[in-house]
Amino acid sequence: MGRGRIRVERSASKVNAKTIIGNTKTHAARPVAVSASVLKLLAPAMVGKAPDELLWCRADGQPLRPPTTTHWFAAAVSRCQAADERFPRVTAHELRHTAASLMIASGANVKTVQSQLGHKTATMTLDQYGHLFPDDLDDVADKMDELVGKCAQNVPTKETGQS
């Protein structure tokens, strides 16, 4: 990790009650941008860890089993709901959709969102999140007018002084 990036190289999944560490769905490692505030929260977990070590694992260094991570998150949500009844029921996977929505709302282009989520193609990202990208047809038309106005055919000539 460095420069606000975490490198995603592997994934964990549960197969027949056993945790399997393997490639990501797209079989490609990727850097994921992380905000300074998140890096600050991760810093204590990173102390003494090699770059390829798991941040959270069992005492023997093996990965947490998926039920452990699911139960941990569900328990955290339950505590939040106990403190505030308006707190929504949310799953860890829904946080991925929230992150994608926030990226799009902050102006990220489709290729950036694709890279962050690890989608194989931009089409996959657009199929899932296309409705969140702003409908900027009017803005496109205005920018086209602006660019056409700067084209060489609109530059005054010596002969006529007109464009």
| % residues pLDDT > 70 (the chain) | 89
Contact in structure between 143 and 133 (CB atoms under 8 Å): no
What is the 3 state secondary structure string of 23-72? CCCCCCCEEEECCHHHHHHHHHHHCCCCCCCCCCECCCCCECCHHHHHHH
The mean pLDDT value for 43-49 works out to 89
| pTM across the whole model | 0.65
Neighbours of 50 (CB within 10 A): 6
* Measured distance CA(116)–CA(110) in Å, rounded: 10
| Beta bridge partners of residue 8, listed in sequence order | 30
Residue 93's H or E segment, with its range, is helix 92-105
* Measured distance CA(25)–CA(7) in Å, rounded: 15
Residue 13's H or E segment, with its range, is strand 11-15
- pLDDT tens for residues 117-153? 989 999 999 999 988 887 777 787 888 888 887 776 6
Q: What pLDDT, on the 0 to 100 scale, is given for residue 155? A: 62
